[in-house]
Structure 1
Amino acid sequence: MYSNLYRNINNRSPIHVMTPKEPKFIGSKPLQIWDKKVRNGHIKRITDNDIQSLVLEIVGTNVSTTYITCPADPKKTLGIKLPYLVMIIKNLKKYFTFEVQVLDDKNVRRRFRASNYQSTTRVKPFICTMPMRLDEGWNQIQFNLADFTRRAYGTNYVETLRVQIHANCRIRRVYFSDRLYSEDELPAEFKLFLPIQNKTKATVAT
C-alpha cells in the first residue's frame, strides 16, 4: 500500500521538497526525505562561489549510478497535485538528467526524463524522454507537468509520485507550485536570493 507524504498539504503552494539551507523546513538535513545512490562520484553540500550560498552537488562518472530520489521510501509517493516543478540547477558542463514520475487520470504511472545529452523526444507508453538545454551557470528549470502529460499522452495530470535528480549538477532549490510565480510573488522563505539570469524549459514534441 502506497502512502502520500504531502496528502494533507496539496492546496498549499509552493511546496518545498529540497533546499540545502532552509532551517524552517529541513534544517541541516536537505535530503531528509530523499534517498541517495553514489557510485564513482559524490553527493555533498558545498558553498558555490558564484552565489556564496550552500548548494547540493551531485557528481558522478555515470549519470545513471549517482542520484537522489524522493521519497526515500520506495513504498511511499509524494502525492503532490501542484502541476509545476521548479528546480534551481547549476550547469556543470557535464551530462545531466532528471526524472519525474506522475499519475494521470487513467490511473497510469508515467515517467518524464529530461537530459542535456539527448537530441530528440521519444514517447513510449510509460516513459517520455526529451532533450533539455541548459545555459551556462545557474538555470531555473520550469517543468509544466500537466502540459507535458496532456501533450505526450492525451491524459490529465493528477499528481506527482516521485522525483529523481541525477549527476551532474548543483542544486539550490526544488519546489512545486500551482503556477509560475514571479520573484516578487514568492513568500520570503521561497525567494531564490541568487543572481539567476537564465531560465530554461525542457521541451517535448507535439
Structure 2
Amino acid sequence: VLQAGFRPSQGSTVEKPQPSRSSLPKKTMFKNTYQSGFLSILYSIGSKPLQLWDKKVRNGNIKRITDNDIQSSVLEIVGTNVSTNYITCPADRNKTLGIKLPFLVMIIKNLKKYFSFEVQVLDDKNVRRRFRASNYQSTTRVKPFICTMPMRLDEGWNQIQFNLSDFTRRAYGTNYIETLRVQIHANCRIRRIYFSDRLYAEEELPPEFKLFLPVQKQ
C-alpha cells in the first residue's frame, strides 16, 4: 500500500517479468536542466499552473479554486469517471520529462472519492514501466509494463512520497533511470507536484514547498 507521508514497506515481494525493449521518444523536456534538490512541475499558485500539462475532461471539470482548509488557491480535478478526467505532463505526447530525481512528492487533498495517479519511468533495461496507484484497489499487481497498487490517504491534505527508485527495483529488479510522464486523475485537489533528490524533513523544505494551515482562532 502506498501511504501518504510514508515510504513503502520493505517486506512485500512481487514477480519479476521478463522485460522487452522499448525505444525512447527524441524530445526530453528536462534533459539539459541541472537536476538537484527540488524540481517542481506543478504549483497551484503560479500564474499558469498547467503550463507544462495537457488536460482531458469528460463529465467533470478541472479548475483553480480556493480551498477552505488552507485559504489558498489549489487545482481541483473532479469527474464522474476517474479515467476520463485527468492532467498529464508533458503536454506534448511526443515529449518525455527526462527527470532523473528519484522521489516524486505530491501535496494532494483527499476528497473522499475515487482517485488515482500514474507515473511512467524508464529503467536500465531501456524498458518503460508504469506505476498506477489508486484508492479503490486492494492488492498490488505486477505485469511486465505496469504495476498497479493500492494507496491509502488520510483525511484532508496529504503529502504523497513516491520512491521511484525503490519501487522500480522491488517490482522489476531493475534500476530507475528517469521519469518520462506523470498523470493525475480525478478526484483530488493539488497544491504542488515536485521531484527531489531525497526525502527532506519538514524543516529542510523551502517555505513555498510547505503546506501551511491557517492558525485557528480560539
Specify the alignment match of 1:13 in structure 2. 37
- For residues 59 and 181 of structure 1, the distance between their equivalents in structure 2, rounded to whole angstroms, comes to 30
- More RCO (CA 8 Å, sep 6+): 2
Deviation sequence 1:34-63 (CA, Å, 0-9, x none): 000000000000000000010000000000
Counterpart secondary structure, 1:39: coil
2:169 is aligned with 1:150: yes
What letter is aligned with 1:191?
K
- Unaligned ranges ≥5, structure 2: 1-24
Instruction: For residue 136 of structure 2, give the secondary structure of its aligned residue in structure 1.
Output: coil
Deviation of the 1:6 alpha carbon: 1.0
Q: Which residue of 2 aligns with 1:125?
A: 144
Question: How large is the RMSD of aligned CA atoms in angstroms?
Answer: 1.1
Instruction: Quote how far apart the aligned CAs of 1:193 are.
Output: 2.8
Q: What does residue 111 of structure 1 align with?
A: 130
CA offset at residue 10 of structure 1?
4.4
The match for 1:3 is 27
- Asked whether 1:30 is paired with 2:49, we answer yes
CA–CA distance in structure 2, aligned partners of residues 148 and 10 of structure 1: 24
> What fraction of aligned residue pairs are identical, expressed as a percent?
82
Q: Is the 8 A contact 1:78 1:161 kept in 2?
A: yes
Assess if the C-alpha contact under 8 Å between 1:37 and 1:65 holds in 2. yes
Q: How many residues align?
A: 190
**For residues 104 and 61 of structure 1, what CA distance do their matches in structure 2 show?**
34
Q: 1:98 corresponds to which residue?
A: 117
Paired with 1:6 and 1:188, the residues of 2 have a C-alpha distance of 24
What stretches of structure 1 of length at least 5 have no aligned partner? 22-26, 196-206
Identify the residue that residue 9 of structure 2 maps to in structure 1: none
1:166 to 185, 191, 205: 185
Query: Residue type of the partner of 1:12?
Result: S
| Mapped partners of 1:140, 1:11: distance in 2 | 22
**Of residues 145, 152, 156 in structure 2, which corresponds to 1:137?**
156
- Residue matched to 1:74: 93
Write the distance in 1 (CA, Å) between the matches of 2:167 and 2:173.
9
Question: What TM-score, normalized to structure 2?
Answer: 0.85
TM-fit CA distance, 1:2: 2.4
State the 1:183 CA deviation.
2.0
Which one has a bigger Cα radius of gyration? Answer: 2
Q: Deviations over 1:139-169 (max 9, x none)?
A: 1100000000000000000000000000000
Match of 1:201 in 2: none
**1:43/1:56 contact within 8 Å kept:** yes
Q: Distance in 1 between matches of 2:135 and 2:190?
A: 16
